[in-house]
Amino acid sequence: MVNRSWRIAGVAQALDLLRLPVCVASSSVPEQIRRKLELTGLLAHFNDNLFSATMVARGKPAPDLFLYAAQRHATAPARCLVIEDSPLGIEAAIAAGMTAIGFCGGSHCGPEHGDRLLARGAALTIADMRELSTAMAKLVR
């Protein structure tokens, strides 16, 4: 039996509500990305839309990975939204010309984490993935 207590609450529900193309753009190697998504039951939400820093010349904070994912989706960077929990990832999204929402609800995030993400350029932060649709609506206004 797999211990699923490390899952982040609300992720599957947030993905179910989205009617937009989604992908994962991670610094991890492809095998790790796929395995983590399998363990959390989220792989089906992304299919083969998994992008690794191993696929580009430079990883985060360079924008290469996010630009590559956008290009593979035939989507202009300005029309992309990045949900990111790392300051370097926020920097990469901003450098790519994308809007970023900072996620500060992971067990690795301390009380100052949201402020660090905002300082790097996140448009706003959320501490609970169940806040994602509300946060996205704020960005549209």
Cβ 50 vs Cβ 35: under 8 Å: no
Instruction: Read off the tokens for 41.
Output: 């039951």
74 burial via Cβ count (<10 Å: 0-12, 13-18, 19+):
exposed
Element (H, E) at 136: helix 132-140
Domains, the chain, ordered by start: 11-140 (3.40.50.1000)
Q: Is the pLDDT of residue 6 over 80?
A: no
Which uninterrupted H or E stretch holds 83?
strand 81-84
Query: What does the pLDDT look like over 86-123, one tens digit per residue?
Result: 999 999 999 999 999 999 998 788 899 999 999 999 99
Q: Beta-carbon neighbour count of residue 118 at 10 Å?
A: 17
If we measure between CA atoms, which residue out of 6, 75, 71 comes closest to residue 39? 6
| DSSP SS3 for 56 | coil
Rounded to two decimals, the pTM is: 0.91
Name the more confident of 47 and 3: 47
Please state, in angstroms and rounded to a whole number, the distance separating the CA atoms of residues 23 and 45: 8
